[in-house]
Amino acid sequence: MSAARSRSAGPLTGITVLDLTSFLSGPSATQLLGDLGAEVIKVEPLSGDMTRGLPPHFVADDSAYYLANNRNKRGVAIDMKDVKGRDLVERLIDQVDVVVENLRPGALGRLGLDVARSRARRPELIWVSISGFGQDGPRSGLPAYDMIVQALSGVMSLTGEPGRSPVRLGVPAGDIVAGLYAVIGLLAALVERDRTGIGDWIDASMLDGQLALLSYQAVYSLISGTTPAPQGSRHDSIPTYRTFAGSDGHEIAVTANTERMWRDLCDVLELPELAADERYANPRARLRHRDSLWAQIEPRFATLPAEQWLVRLTDCGIPAALIKSVPEALADARSDGRGMVLKLAHADGRSVEVLGTPIVFRSRERVAMRYPPALGEHTRDILTGVLGMSTEEIDRLAEDGVVIAPQPSSPGASIASGAASDG
């Protein structure tokens, strides 16, 4: 491979991943692997990944949810409940570097696709299992979704306004965090395999990921024996790290978290007496007297529009930001050149905007992004190119209802590998 070619290829080029996942935690992980250059083969049941039909938004026959998590993959459709289908998947397992699955623990084993047996045949194989509660423990056999693990982890108890009912985070942190930890574990296993030649089995739990997100809140509780409460838009440790409302009702997030920023905040607010008040002389004192401090700061913020406060705070080096809606944040992302809003092109001319990958390799060109695969779109290519099967064999499997394998010339069978562009 030439130097120019290597710069344009992803760092995981040459790694092949068999994606046996569905919904969100697994597909988000395998999409990231595809973004990094891995060859990802997505195996779906004949009915398709259940998120293909998830409302409310669709592009042609596929939901926005599916399109958000399945780019940069090649798709095959196989009935794994059929013995011939299981044989195909087992043969694919024997040809790849990595298997990623997010079925309930033991489900693949009951189909005859056992991780221990697969790794016994090929010790170099890396197997990644994402589940709600891990591969062992009292909850391992229970189903889990994002809100379940947010609830069990304590994350929901910290979310929302003080004195109100707990609320779910507005983003699917349970799924996404599990996917990220799975990828981190996989990358570490790849490094170890390069050194030893031996793969590993990665056990990524959604609940464990949410517990890890508790961070200092967990340690506060462990050390103090207290129960952390919802903070709303405030901070348990820093009273000048919170939002304030301007005269126009718009909220501004202020993070004056150093002594220098504290003094500058007093100057910006034209409240020099606060800096001289012994009640606010240091971080511990300010936290202890936070209610009286807020009683003086909040009315001052209410005298000017939030935008004016933003200018004043930014000019003196205090990090601050207006709270933006999702469309406003995406509009900024389209224009800032960071590539976090991508346009994926379909062979029929339509396109869809999705989020990009927040990992930038400064020495590489951006890898072109491919539109998510149609159901069974690459079945023929994979079975021929990876397993060496003939057209006649694939036709018989399709006729027997074991696979979906559209002919390349059939309508909708071919999806272009559309290059990503800034939206």
Two structure tokens written together for 242: 């919170």
- Distance, CA of 216 to chain centre: 22
CA terminus-to-terminus distance, the chain: 31
| Cβ pair 241, 298 in contact under 8 A | no
| Cβ pair 350, 59 in contact under 8 A | yes
Q: Nearest-CA neighbor of 151 among 228, 207, 104?
A: 207
Q: Is the peptide bond before 327 cis (omega within 30 degrees of 0)?
A: no
| Cβ pair 402, 84 in contact under 8 A | yes
Under the phi-then-psi rule, with left for phi > 0, alpha for psi from -120 to 50, and beta for the rest, what region is 160? left
- Distance, CA of 133 to chain centre: 18
C-alpha count within 13 angstroms, C-beta hemisphere, residue 151? 7
| Cβ pair 42, 74 in contact under 8 A | yes
Two structure tokens written together for 273: 């007496």
Q: Which of 35, 97, 175, 203 is catalytic?
A: 175
- Measured CA to CA in angstroms, residue 236 lies from 3, 43, 232, 241, 292 at distances of 51, 45, 10, 9, 16
Question: What is the biggest distance separating any 2 CA atoms in the chain, rounded to whole angstroms?
Answer: 86
Q: Nearest-CA neighbor of 257 among 245, 265, 268?
A: 265
Two structure tokens written together for 186: 């996989």
* C-beta neighbour count of 148 within 10 angstroms: 18
How many residues in the chain?
A: 423
**97 among known catalytic residues:** no
Two structure tokens written together for 236: 């348990």
Q: Is the dihedral of CA 368, 372, 378, 383 positive or negative?
A: positive
Tell me the C-alpha distance between 319 and 90, whole Å.
53
* DSSP letter (8 states) at residue 158: G
Active site members: 175
